[in-house]
Chains A and B, each alone.
Chain A
Amino acid sequence: MQTQITNEPTKTNNAVTVKAQTPTYVVTPLLDVYESADGLRVFVDLPGVTAEGLSLDLEEDVLTLVAKREPFGRDRAIHYKRRFMLPREVAQDRIEAKLQDGVLVLDLPKRAESKPRKISVTVG
């Protein structure tokens, strides 16, 4: 299933101008999530996406990823879009993102107070 984005015709001086229509696929990128005691690491496959074409927005607990891949070979342009809710334990101010070989790596550290803690028992 593919969704095509087409530009709306825009009106200028009574003349109707139709912008160039480049068909684009909207695609949900696939991701893996790993967890350690300190945080989560998320890998998202985004082949052909450059840092300039990628945006990550965090609002409340919802992370929105939008990325554009230019057409290559016989493939059309792709708009990758995905929204997901972050666990509350994530320290939102320390999220790090990097793009490596067409894979987005998100580091989501856990807040200190939500890390598992061992409570030692002292004999009194």
Chain B
Amino acid sequence: MRFFDAFDRQISEAFVGRRERETGGSISLTESADALVFTAELPGVARADVEITIEADVLTVRASRKQAAPEGYKLVRQERQPVELFRKLALPCRVDADAARADLSGGILTVRLPKASEARPRRISLNTAS
């Protein structure tokens, strides 16, 4: 398919180093005062193909994309890479696994893990001078 090349050649040469990164592999874990939030780019991944488990302080996320030719079609150009995610992350603090929530929308997985109460910051007030 030379047609899909025509305009991109000049552009893509500048982005060669970025190609790997753009296959939906970006993940991150951020922390706020009351929760840890894990996000991952999972374009085209079905809900049924995502598995999330929390055991003690370890978050495990598994996801894969089924990428088959639509019925009656044959592949003529392939740039997209398979999406295969398998991560075990040691969480920096205890979380309340029962209150965890996961959402997959627009190809982005968001897992919100509220911190266990003992891991949340607490303000200690000074005793009043007596």
Q: Which residues of A contact B (CB under 8 A)?
A: 1-3, 25, 27-38, 40-43, 45-50, 62, 72-75, 81-87, 99-103
Contacts and interface: CB of A to CB of B under 8 A. Distances in A.
B19 to A, nearest CB: 7
B35 interface: no
B103 to A, nearest CB: 12
B101 interface: no
Nearest to A33: B77
B12 interface: yes
Given A41-B70, A84-B3, 5 more contacts: A32-B79, A45-B107, A47-B108, A85-B3, A86-B3
Interface residues of B, number: 49
Contacts of A72: 28, 39, 108, 110
Given A1-B18, A74-B30, A102 B8 contact: no
Contacts of A40: 76
B22 to A, nearest CB: 6
B81 interface: yes
Nearest to A28: B15
A3 B29 CA distance: 25
A101 B46 contact: yes
A35 B14 CA distance: 28
A29 B8 CA distance: 11
Contact of B41 (A25, A33, A47, A85): A47
13 contacts: A29-B22, A31-B77, A31-B79, A32-B67, A32-B77, A34-B74, A34-B75, A36-B72, A37-B72, A41-B73, A47-B108, A75-B39, A102-B24
